[in-house]
Chain A
């Protein structure tokens, strides 16, 4: 069966929209945990609402992914790099679930009420200090791991797009 050359339109749109959303969430998150600024609370409220949207987005994206034909890497890419690419993708899917879920659960464990645009959301955990510690640390460390993964992924994409020019970069942009 012939594999497509590019990712389907739905996946390309999801990829770039989520890239913008996730980068904004990461910058907002890393800033607001340090800042004493008056806008900090506004950013926090925005981060929580957008984080919930990111959770919905990754569910939708996974469904699209499982139902789509996706391009394979060209045979010119060495086996080790093929493996690394697969691991990176797996890491992204995992972290994009871990981030919003740990964020949600840490709010539950801190006993803080959550709502999305005024709609109250259920607490899945009881209030507990150690559980808060667990999910707060997961949320913080997974964010750093995600930043690292984005750097690796961007470098690899630029390497393919600018130096190798083997169609790997184009499969996610298609001019």
Chain B
């Protein structure tokens, strides 16, 4: 009996050691590695580690019901549903100049505070340059070490991304950009039947933005806020349905224009506020917060986005908590 117990204890120690080595040593890239790389050397306490610069928006999503046959999700049944959202630019600097950012984003939480809530974080590029988190990590390293051309040359799957980038012209307003889900998802109907989809927010105005001051860091934010004073900003939320030829797990390849496209409804942005005072600041726009009627695709980038966003959320929440504790003590 004594030896059996010793053997069990020794086994437990070995198992713990193996676990420690596999998780901390061999694991290629962790969520912490990703966020460490994104935040860089100068930590901006309380801000998102990626897409730190942005502002909160709110309004309603007017669902057309065109996708109701494909999904049981409440947000896709005909009706009007409130949302909290955020418009942002890529990068870890919360005071970066709007007009210099390579990527712009529109994120939404439709039907917040309910079990039906649907979060989506959409970006201006329609595809990723690479298909896995490990390669995306290498891409971020290449950006930091100024070896991006070499990185793209070594990764031929980036061809579609490069083609998009060579044609892309940033507009003078967040209201006239196209924002893409990038990753694919499944719509699930009441019988459990799945249909792979991607979606894009298409601007419903082509009215060019009037930039009051090209040098202002907040140039696009100012333009959007003054545009909202004239009335709501609208986007058409268009879904593209995959065919058997499309691979939902690969975000580097665009789907053909000939695929069936359906309008899920209209995103009506009614209000905007600076992010520190807005409801969006507490939210992590994790694209895997999906209601019944949606399911994630097997795209590994999608899973990695959720894990990295969670780590970023933890860090800035801890910083805001400490600021409040210290601030409270000083009052």
Q: Which residues of A contact B (CB under 8 A)?
A: 27, 30-38, 40-41, 109-113, 115, 120, 123, 127-130, 132-134, 136-137, 140, 154, 158, 161-162
Contacts and interface: CB of A to CB of B under 8 A. Distances in A.
A136 B284 CA distance: 14
A29 B19 CA distance: 13
A51 B19 CA distance: 21
B282 interface: yes
Contact of A113 (B2, B19, B114): B114
A153 to B, nearest CB: 13
Contacts of B298: 38
Contacts of A113: 114-117, 289, 291
A136 B279 contact: no
A35 B317 contact: no
Given A129-B316, A132-B313, A133-B319, A35 B30 contact: yes
B31 interface: yes
Contacts of A161: 5
B313 A110 contact: yes
Nearest to B303: A38
Contacts of A111: 109, 112-113, 117, 282-283
A100 B300 CA distance: 29
Contacts of A27: 19
A41 B303 contact: yes
Given A113-B289, A137-B318, 4 more contacts: A37-B303, A127-B112, A130-B324, A133-B316
A84 B98 CA distance: 59
Contact of B308 (A30, A36, A38): A36
Interface of B: 2, 5-6, 9, 12, 19, 23, 27, 29-32, 34, 109, 112-117, 133, 279, 281-284, 288-289, 291, 296, 298, 300, 303-304, 306-308, 310-311, 313-314, 316-322, 324
Contacts, number: 101
7 interchain residue pairs of minimum CB distance: A133-B317, A133-B321, A36-B304, A129-B282, A34-B30, A120-B115, A113-B115
A78 to B, nearest CB: 23
Contacts of A127: 112-113, 279, 282-283
A123 B113 contact: yes
Contact of A33 (B2, B31, B303, B322): B31
Nearest to B19: A27
Main SS of the interface on chain B? helix
A133 B9 CA distance: 37
A30 B321 CA distance: 22
A34 B59 CA distance: 35
A31 B23 contact: yes
Nearest to A128: B282
Contacts of B289: 112-113
A41 B9 contact: no
Nearest to B314: A136
A35 B117 contact: no
A36 B307 contact: yes
B307 A133 contact: no
A115 B290 CA distance: 13
A40 B300 contact: no
Given A38-B298, A112-B289, A130 B321 contact: yes
Nearest to B324: A130
Nearest to B319: A133
A132 B281 CA distance: 12
Nearest to A120: B115
Contacts of B279: 127
Nearest to B283: A111
B27 A35 contact: yes
A136 B316 CA distance: 11
B282 A110 contact: yes
